[in-house]
With several copies, the nearest count.
Chain A
Amino acid sequence: MLALHGLYKAFGANQVLRGVDLTIDAGEVVVLMGANGAGKSTLVKVLSGYHVADDGVMTLAGNAYHPVDARDAIRQGIVTVHQAIDDGVIPDLSVADNLLLDRFASRDHGLWVSARTLRREARQVAEAMGMTLDLDARVAELSVADRQLIGIARALAHSPRLLILDEPTSSLSAAEAERLFNLLDRLREQGVAILYISHRMTDIRRLADRIVCLRDGRVSGMFDQKPLDLPGAVQAMLGQTLEATAIQPVAPGPAVLELHDIVLAPGSKPVSFAVGDGEVVALTGLLGSGMEALVAMLFGQRPLSQGSLRLDGRDYAPNTVSEALARGVFLAAKDRSVNGVVADFDIADNMTLPFLKAFSTGGLLRRSRQRQAATQMIERLGIVCQSPQDAIGTLSGGNQQKVMIGRWLQAPCRLLILDEPFQGVDIGARHDIGRQIRATAKGRATLVCVSEIDEAIEIADRIIVLHEGCIAGEQYNQDIDLGVLAAQAAGHG
């Protein structure tokens, strides 16, 4: 269906694609693996007409393919779900408008938009994806997961020849992801070629017909023998083997954070647990489990409805973010593009944003000290960049995420909350980040909220499963039965 040969693309001095050769056949799911910054999204953007390749040949069904813009690519049957979720939705329009946006952009659509047809067609698109959203709701009011689903649903409704999905499940729950996979299965049967990019092994295992690994802008490996050699693929993409480091749960120190009878969802049973000094606790659960509410309460964004919190044995009831910070509670928020990244700033400014006071003397900022601190953190976390003065927008998604984590590792704290810290992070970097978090865990309590159970197992001493505002299971990270955890998260524990 699609064949690429010798594709090159550079951003200034940064040579990102260095001769990519790739074919995708009809009715096949090709999974593209690659470390953060390997050039996957850049390749996608070339294919979808957003960037123009510097060199190379592309053919689509035998014909030369050189899309001039996104419109052209779509017209030729290449539909893309981009990595950045915000590139897929219009916040100020309704769900229905968003679902049908590409039809408005097509010349085949009549001039007028009738509210009734709009609603009917939007409902069809939504139902195909198993979504039960209010079609009149403004997208700005929806959760990230819903926004991501909207982008995907719209692309799937398009009956493309080649469908490209760049990390489509980064914000989805397991159930939502499974619905997506089923739909992809169906499309594959209809002969649609699919290029799928993900860092999640569960996705890859479930979907891949073939794995292509990208490293430093070149194809570094291809695996099409069933069963697929995942460890081999990881090695090809990272250039090194990844030793599976089994977690040795540490014995927790004295309790740092204590929850007493906290109600996470209206009408649910109160929750109590504690996190000790040096301990890393992972919270996991599906949509509506109450995780979000808990994080908001801990970080002063939402009042406690009931019960009480204690931090270091003292009452803790923050009303604002700064009160939380003053007590030594840090939060690396999820959904970094909205909640974290300051797009106009460079890496150093982004990294040091919460601690600017510490980087200034007599009211004036000390740039050199900011840069120094950023450089150190770049090394510690292995962030791929040219210098700490790079604009943050030039980093790959995973590396931006590392900057966001690095931001909160710069100063000691009492409680570190990491909300979906691995969003869009490659498996190698995930290990790096996990190692850093565990290595620095002494002297604070660490709470990690993840929706993937795999990720919880890689980082935590203890795992707490939430379901509809209640604790559905709690386990030390040793000899864990994944199935049991998944069942608990789904409410069948």
Chain B
Amino acid sequence: MAEPGAFRARLLAFAIRYGFLLLLVGLVLYFSLAAPGFANPRSAVFVLQSVAITGILALGVTTTLVVGGFDLSIGAVATSSLMLAAYSMVVLEQPAYVAVALCLLMGALVGLINGLLIVKCRIPDLLATLGMMFLLIGLQRIPTQGNSIATGMTLADGETAQGSFSAAFLWLGRHRFDLVIERLVPVPVVIFLLIALAIWLFLGFTRHGRLMYAIGSNARATALVGAPVARYKIAAYMISGVTAAIGGVLLAARLGRGDIASGNNLLLDSVAAALIGFAVLGAARPNAFGTAMGALFVGILLQGMTMLNAPYYTQDFVKGAVLVIALMFTFYLSSRRGPSMRH
């Protein structure tokens, strides 16, 4: 009687491991058939482009999830970085590299403060980063009294801003590299893929990454083998801050304007991507590959539905439904595999 049992167990293991990826493939096939124009390289790049910024933020959140934390401030860091980039070029009339450097610095600083609040002051992660979120949402609007930043805007002292988004900066958001087809792959996509690769390698294949996972699972035990737990936690928040700042820079470069209303959905969408990542390859824990797949999944879904002319609210609904069903599937199955998967 062992045969069918073993077969079922193998089937189950297969479903847990590849279920989500199969769903993704199925989705792509379905849209390719149902939505004319879906299946072509431009469309694929388009999907990547549409998830690049969310994906970058999601990779940062993943890092904080790995050490058992959570970063609610990423959306606000990204929009702050967007405003800071615009402010430093348009109002302060700085060149592109200064603007980018300032943004990265700001992201690192916010991450450092988040980390210190959590590690030194022992404020629970959700709380510290929620506070930081409100703080940044307010802060980023103070220099311009809540106005968007664009060349020619009137400043508080009555002057008009003379600076502008430099071409080098806009290149970051708008240039496309040739790949087979001319002008195919936009810079943000390349940056997204590079960051995904870096974080995937870092978390999965270096001793630091392994220790970060250990901290997320049992911080005390990790401290007792001599790992600098506090420093790793702070590092995770700094990574998250910097990636969010990169996301903000790319957003600024794509928009060409310091728009205060942009970036509202970044937090929720990137959290969704990171959490969907749990279901990929049956990991049941935060992981960079899963996060990238999660971001891609949401991108493909929205793209496909847009091409099928589905109204915006059905997209939310389907996004939620597919998310719940995919995860039900993975987590339910892996809980059946044995007591190993804990929630």
What is A's interface to B at a CB cutoff of 8 Å?
Answer: 11-13, 48, 50, 69-75, 80, 82, 86-93, 97, 101-106, 109-114, 138, 140-141, 154, 321-322, 324-325, 331, 333, 338-345, 349, 353-354, 356-357, 359-360, 363-365, 391, 393-394, 407
Are the C-beta atoms of A365 and B207 separated by less than 8 Å? Answer: yes
Which residue from chain A places its CB closest to the CB of B227 in the assembled complex?
Answer: A105
Given known contacts A97-B214, A356-B210, A360-B206, is B338 in contact with A12 (CB within 8 Å)? yes
Cα distance, A233 to B17, chains bound together (Å) = 46
Can you list 18 A-B pairs with a CB-CB distance of less than 8 A? Answer: A12-B337, A69-B228, A86-B218, A87-B218, A90-B213, A91-B217, A92-B285, A101-B210, A102-B226, A105-B225, A105-B226, A138-B340, A331-B224, A341-B218, A342-B217, A344-B285, A354-B225, A393-B342
Q: Please judge, given known A-B contacts A112-B206, A360-B207, whether A322 and B214 are in contact too, CB under 8 Å.
A: no
Q: Does B324 contact A (CB under 8 A)?
A: no
Report the bound CA distance from A104 to B9 in whole Å: 34
**B227 A104 Cβ-Cβ under 8 A:** yes
Tell me whether B223 is interfacial, beta carbon within 8 Å.
yes
Contact A93 B206 (CB under 8 A): no
Q: Which interface class (under 10, 10 to 19, 20 to 34, 35 or more) fits B? A: 20 to 34
Task: Say whether B206 contacts A111, CB under 8 Å.
Answer: yes
Residue in A71, A113, A138, A154 whose CB lies within 8 Å of B227: A71
Q: Is the CB of B228 within 8 A of A342?
A: no
Contact between chains at A338 and B207 (CB < 8 Å): no
Could you tell me the distance in whole angstroms from the C-beta of B266 to the nearest C-beta in chain A?
Answer: 28
Asked whether B218 lies within 8 Å of A71 as measured between CB atoms, the reply is no
Establish whether residues A364 and B221, one from each chain, have CB atoms under 8 Å apart when the complex forms: no
Residue in A354, A357, A359, A407 with the greatest tally of chain B CB atoms within 10 Å: A354
In the complex where A50-B224, A87-B220, A325-B226 touch, is A93 in contact with B207 (Cβ < 8 A)?
no
Residues of B within 8 A of A140 (CB): 340, 342
Which chain B positions have C-beta within 8 A of A114?
A: 205
Q: With a CB–CB cut-off of 8 A, which chain A residues contact B224?
A: 48, 50, 70, 80, 82, 87-88, 321, 331, 333, 339-340
Chain B residues, CB < 8 A from A103: 207
**Other 7 A-B pairs with CB < 8 A, given A141-B340, A321-B223:** A72-B226, A92-B213, A101-B214, A109-B207, A321-B225, A353-B211, A360-B206
> Contacts of B209 on A, CB cut-off 8 Å?
113
Residue in B207, B216, B285, B339 whose CB lies within 8 Å of A393 = B339
List the 4 closest A-B pairs by CB distance, nearest first: A356-B207, A92-B217, A71-B226, A344-B217
Asked if A70 contacts B342 (CB within 8 A), the reply is no
Q: A88-B221, A112-B205 are in contact. Are A353 and B214 (CB under 8 A)?
A: yes
